Each structure stands twice: as C-alpha cells, then as structure tokens.
Chains A and B, each alone.
Chain A
Amino acid sequence: MRWTRRLGNLVSGFYLTACYIFILLPVAVLILFSFQDGRLPVPPFHGPTLNWYATAIANDRLMTGLGNSLLVGLSSSALSVILGFLAAYGVSRYEFAGKRLLQGVIILPLAVSYLLVGMGLLVSLSSLGLGPSLAMVVIGHVVINMPLAFAICLAQLGEHQRKIEWAARDLGASTFRVLTLVTMPMIAPALIAAFCLCFTLSWDEFIIAFLVTRFDVTLPIVIWTMLRGGLNPQTNAVGSFIFLCSILLLLVVELLLFRKRRE
C-alpha cells in the first residue's frame, strides 16, 4: 500500500511540474527576451537592457492600439457588469414565467466560440449597413463577458442578502435606494472583481477584435501585425506588459472574490 501511494505521489508530482513548465516556460522566455540586448529575441541571452521597452513606448501604432484596447476594455467591462448585475438582480429577486429559460439564454454565450460571435456580429451588422469599428468590438466583448458578470453577481445575491434588502425596505427604502444604498455596496467586491475579470478577457481578446475592426485596431491586433514582420524583442516587451496587467487584475479578483468566500 505504502509504495503504491509513494509512486502515486511521485507520478502526480512529476505531472504537475510538467504542466507548470509547459504553461509558464513560454511566458518566462517571452519576458526574459524582452530584456534582450540584440535584434532577435532568441538564445543566447545578452543584456539585460530596457531599450525595447523605450522603443515600444515611442511606437505610435502600439500606443494607439494600447489606447484603443483600454477604451474597449473599460467600456465593455462597465457595460457587462451593469447589465450582468441588473439581470442577476432580476432573476434572483423576482418570480416570473420563463425565468429558467431566460437564465439559460443569458448564460448561453459562454458556450459559443469567439469565432462564431465575431462572425455573427460581422454578418448581422453589415446587413444593418454598419461597418467595422471599435464600437463593434465593445458589443462583441459585452456579448462574451456579460454572462460571466451575471454568474458572478448571481452567486452573491443569495437568501442572506435578500433578507438584508428586506430590512432596507422595511425601514422605508424604495427599490432604487435598496439597489444603490444596500445591494450594490454590499456586493461591491464581487462587482469590482467581475469588472477586473471582464477587463482581463477583453484586454487580450483577438478573434472578435480582428474580425470586426479595420483601421482603429486594438493592441492584440497591432502585435499580431508586428509579428508577421518577424520576431522582434519589442513585441516581447509589449507582451510582457500585457501579461503584467492581466496578472495584476487577476490578483485583484483573487483578493476580492475568493478571499471573501473563504471567510
């Protein structure tokens, strides 16, 4: 018995290490060669230098892309959280016919591939006579992120919170004041976490952004265009920056959402 368990531990330990190497090694290499003192981000490593970060910051196309990505990320996340929260409030607090069906429909986009969402958006918008633009990206990102925000909010609006809302009504509050003075502040950590998560997903989303933009493009599209011209430590620098932002936001999510649930 003992040796089988030990063998099991050994195998699962090896498996886990292999997993982490596969996931993290490319990221580590990407970050390492963003400091490469040379023209190619390939071994052997020379440096370190921050030259490529300076080049990236001076690159207008990259900076415009960064600005566009921020704009799309912030607006689509804000919309996703507002719509997701209101939908979750409605579903958790009111009884109506077809409630479960509606809930399913709201969650459904999570199961649809980004390619389909992007293509569908492109087809339906061009039939309306609208061309590709950043606004389309915002819509596309709301479609994929709203279900997530909805699910996070719904998980926080349980019976305990309902009782607390009752108490507010009992003390004379209208629905609007219950929402703004009690419900939203009460689940603020979840709302912020949902926002961060939506932003992270929007921030490095490629397929939808690629399909529905033409001239104003987001950062991932700019990087992809640059990569077509060959490897360059500048793209490593931008990639590292994106990675850092995502990690920071996920840390916020972790702190707000999962820490709280453990309490």
Chain B
Amino acid sequence: MTNHPHLDIAAVRKVYGEVTALDDVSLAVEQGAYVVLLGPSGSGKTTLLSAIGGFIIPTSGRISIAGRDVTTLAPAQRPTTTLFQDYALFPHMSVAGNVGFGLKIRRVGGADCDKRIAAALEMVGLAGYGKRGIHELSGGQRQRVALARALVVEPEILLLDEPLGALDLNLRRQMQDELMDLQRRTGRSFVHVTHDQEEAMALASLIVVMNKGRIEDMGTPKRIYERPATRFTATFMGESTQIAGRISGSQNGIFNVTTAIGHLHAVGDAGDGSEVTLILRPENILVGAAGHVALGTARIREAVFQGAHYRVLASSEAAGQEFVLRLPPDARVEQGMALSLSCQANRLVAVAR
C-alpha cells in the first residue's frame, strides 16, 4: 500500500462566472472513512461532491483517488459511484436490471453477474425483489435499489447526495443505521452530503463543515460539536448561548475572558486581547452553584416543554445577556422565575467573533 490518502483533494477551486462555488478546498480522507460534507444550501458541498464524482471539472486544483489523478476524468472512468438524491433509477428496467446495469457495462456476464446482483440485493435487504418493476417499490425500497446498484460495481468511494432528504423521520433513522452498517461491512469510503447536522453526527467519522465555498472546520462529530473552531460551525451544529468578550490573558490553555456578565474562563484557540464569542451548549448550563464558572442570575423569558426536557430562554437582569438552556421535565418552570446559572470552565469555547 502507498501512503497516499485514499481521497486527496488539493486546492480545488470552481468558479462560475462571478461566483466562486469552491474556494481553495483541500481535504485528505483515509480509506474506510465515512465523511459527511455538512453545510447550508449554497455552501459548495454538492459542488465538491460533483467534482469528486466527475460531473464538474474544477477550475483549478487536483483530485486523486487511491493514488490516481482523476481531476479531469469523466464519471464513467472514475472509481466512484453516486447515490443520487432522487435515486435516478432506470424506470424501464426491473430491480435486477437496475442493479446489474454497471455489471453489464463492465461485461460481467452469466452466472457471476446474477450471483453478484443477488448478493447486492441481499446486502440492502431486498433479496427476492429482482423481478419487480421500479414503480412497484416504495421510496425506501427505491433507495435501497439505488444503493445496491451503486455498490455492486465495488467503487473505491461511494458518493451520497442528500440521500435521506425525501424520507420521513422514522425511515431516515433506519436508513442512517443501515448506511453505517453497510459502510462498515463493505469497508469502502463514503462521502455523504447533507444539510442536517443530526444526520451528520449520527453517521460521520469525519465531519467537514462547509460555508461559502470554503471548509470552515473538520473533525470528529464530538470535536466539531463540543469544540467548534469557528462561530459559524458552532451555530450550524446546534443551539448555543453566545457571550461576547475580550481575552485578557491565559494560563495552561485556559483563557481569562472579560465579558458583560463578568470574568469567565474558557478554552479555545485565540490570541491575547482579541475579541471573541464564547459558545456554551444548552445542556452545559447548570442551575445553582454546581459549576466552577458563575454566569450570574437570569430570569426565564420563555419555556417550551419538549418531552425529554424544557427548552428555556432566559436573560440576565444586569447585562441583558441571553441564555438558552435545558431544564429537566420535572423541574418547576415559570415565566419570570430567577435562576442562578453556572457552568464548568472547559465547557465555554472561545471562537473568533
């Protein structure tokens, strides 16, 4: 084996007239990774996927897969297959015809072909469906056929273009589990595009957060959620309380931050004296003096019961700082009630403003 990364994207740019869809994107992925490209619409995530699949040729930069430069190759010549958003199944063919299409093109014939089709259908839980027409299948089943069709030709990398968007919530959860399972069993690299951060966290071994054609942040779901590198990432990965402040010194990686609600300690990556925003996830705000860092007193402005918890919006009396936090479902929650808030020092993350 070589020491090249399995998928290597180097300084890829894609410009459409005045618009820069991809701005100097570099990314290296090891074999067997489940990469999720996460971002809002227009962030360039789908453009990046299309560039990997060969549907878009980058303006500049280089893409190589398994050590081979594929930057300008047509989709047919690449060791990638795509699971399209609307499945793009061949409507005039049976399930087996769809799954066997790639094999037919590769001139795999006879018994070997039939065996591989059957194996692929079994892998996605559709054994015995070969003779059915596409129109007889439900949305979830069509998705599985599309998966089998893409995986049966044994691609180096499977590209998934918002594959779960059209499914209802229960089916989406189920397909998430099956995708993860398939990825582990086949050992292939998956690159998956979504705008849903929950989906990203459920699936990814590596999340790549994209915004305005650039990579904002990348790392494991845990790292991205708990220690976001930028304010955009922090906001996109879920709700948080954001406290504006200025760094006034540091000690052993812990920053002292001056804010409107007092001096706070935070972790993160910022220079002395710089303006920062402190990010604090709702579940990390503690009520009472349980945490090391006191956040002052705030009054409940709004509380919504959400089953497992109350989602509470509160504002501090002195500085008008807004907090979003969670209270247990059996807590006494009333509008205007005063709460004394605190948190642990390593839960406050400083990001550039």
Contacts and interface: CB of A to CB of B under 8 A. Distances in A.
Interface of A: 160, 163-164, 166-174, 177, 181-182, 185-186, 188
B232 interface: no
A171 B92 contact: no
Given A173-B76, A186-B91, A168 B84 contact: no
Contacts of B290: none
Interface of B: 53-55, 74-77, 80-82, 84, 86, 88-93, 101-102, 104-106, 149-150, 153
Contacts of A173: 76, 101, 105
B89 A164 contact: yes
B88 A163 contact: yes
A184 B92 CA distance: 10
Contacts, number: 61
A183 B149 CA distance: 18
Given A171-B102, A171-B105, A171-B150, 16 more contacts: A164-B91, A166-B84, A167-B82, A167-B89, A167-B90, A168-B90, A169-B74, A169-B75, A170-B53, A170-B75, A170-B82, A170-B150, A171-B153, A185-B92, A186-B90, A186-B92
A163 B86 contact: yes
25 contacts: A164-B88, A164-B89, A164-B91, A166-B55, A166-B75, A166-B88, A167-B88, A169-B74, A169-B75, A169-B76, A170-B53, A170-B76, A170-B81, A170-B82, A171-B76, A171-B101, A171-B102, A172-B77, A172-B105, A174-B76, A181-B101, A182-B90, A186-B91, A186-B92, A188-B92
User: Most A CB atoms within 10 A — which of B80, B101, B106?
Assistant: B101
Contacts of B76: 169-174
9 tightest A-B contacts by CB? A171-B102, A167-B88, A172-B105, A163-B88, A185-B92, A170-B75, A164-B88, A172-B76, A169-B75
B68 to A, nearest CB: 16
A172 to B, nearest CB: 4
Contacts of B88: 163-164, 166-167
B212 to A, nearest CB: 26
A181 B98 CA distance: 11
A167 B85 CA distance: 11
A185 B92 CA distance: 7
Contact of A177 (B55, B105, B153): B105
Contacts of A164: 88-91
Contacts of A185: 92-93
Contacts of B92: 185-186, 188
B268 to A, nearest CB: 42
